[in-house]
Amino acid sequence: MTPVLEIDGLDKRFGGIVVADGIDLTLNPGRVVGLIGPNGAGKTSLFNLISGVFPSDAGTIRLDGQRLDGLAMHRRASLGLARTWQNLRLFPSLSVLDNLMVGPRRYLGDRFLRLALDPAGVRSQEAGTRRRAEEVLERTRLSGVAATPAADLTFGQQKLVGVARALMNDARCLLLDEPMAGVEGQAYEIMQQVVREVAEGGVAVCVVEHNVAFIRDLCDEGVFMFAGKVLARGPVADLIADPRLTELYFGT
């Protein structure tokens, strides 16, 4: 199987803190990998390095064979890398539909310039974006709340909006940072189904989560991180049964 995402020898430190220490990781199409490890292990930092929030010190990141490292965040996104954020970053007063239709905050100014220069082009592009948003809302079971302000949703629904936003561009690789944190009830099953269906569409998915039951039920495989290193990769049941890893996870 040709990997979608291929990371080799990734290093990153902030002063004395090593957040990535020789990380090698591959993500394959149609597979869901669960990334687990204690607080501060470097899980979010790894997502930040892959998505380009900050640069790496060494190593390579490839998406479908193409180098991502060195590219700006929006270039990585346009090549098919999508992610969600541990803190949600929604627009609370905008409707769910509009949360999907607006791009990242920094591109809003750009829209007004294009609207002045090419109004018909912008309108047809917006019609396309709207169709895409409606389709994504259906896939994430959010069509019924499309017109509701994001702030009025349950926390679980807000988490689903975060995933829906990530699905707006045609992702080849989807990184989910704690999609279940604080989520209860119906949203739990929906989140499982949505992520499964995304993977079935051929996307390579990586999920960071402290909810080990969620990871065990959802993921094809687990990766255990500690102090910026990948210590183990294998069936999730094996990782959580490994006393050496549970000791690192829960401390002594």
Ligand X SMILES: Nc1ncnc2c1ncn2[C@@H]1O[C@H](COP(=O)(O)OP(=O)(O)OP(=O)(O)O)[C@@H](O)[C@H]1O
Binding site for Mg ion (CB under 5 A): 43-44
Length of the chain counted residue by residue: 252
Contacts to ligand X by CB under 6 A? 14, 17, 19, 37, 39-45, 86
Q: For the CB of residue 137, give the shortest distance to ligand X in the complex, in Å.
A: 28
107 binds, among Mg ion, ligand X, none (CB under 5 to 8 A by kind): none
Q: Which is nearer to ligand X, 52 or 80 (CB)?
A: 52
17 binds, among ligand X, Mg ion, none (CB under 5 to 8 A by kind): ligand X
Q: Which is nearer to Mg ion, 45 or 157 (CB)?
A: 45
**Nearest CA among 231, 242, 244, 241 for reference residue 42:** 231
Q: Which is nearer to Mg ion, 48 or 140 (CB)?
A: 48
* 20 contact partners, CB below 8 Å, separation of at least 6: 10, 11, 12, 13, 42, 45, 46, 49, 56, 59, 228
CA dihedral 83, 55, 224, 244 (to 10 degrees): -150
> Do 140 and 156 contact (CB within 8 A), yes or no?
no
Q: For the CB of residue 45, give the shortest distance to ligand X in the complex, in Å.
A: 3
Q: Which is nearer to ligand X, 44 or 56 (CB)?
A: 44
Q: For the CB of residue 47, give the shortest distance to ligand X in the complex, in Å.
A: 8
**Matching residue, tokens 């929006």:** 74
Q: For the CB of residue 19, give the shortest distance to Mg ion in the complex, in Å.
A: 11
29 binds, among ligand X, Mg ion, none (CB under 5 to 8 A by kind): none
Q: For the CB of residue 149, give the shortest distance to ligand X in the complex, in Å.
A: 28
Q: Exposed e or buried b for every residue in 97-120, given b needs 16+ CB within 10 A? A: bebbbbbeeeeeeeeeeeeeeeee
CA distance 120 to 161: 29
Q: For the CB of residue 179, give the shortest distance to ligand X in the complex, in Å.
A: 13
Q: Which is nearer to ligand X, 41 or 145 (CB)?
A: 41
In whole angstroms, what separates CA 223 from the centre of its chain? Answer: 16
14 binds, among Mg ion, ligand X, none (CB under 5 to 8 A by kind): ligand X
41 binds, among ligand X, Mg ion, none (CB under 5 to 8 A by kind): ligand X
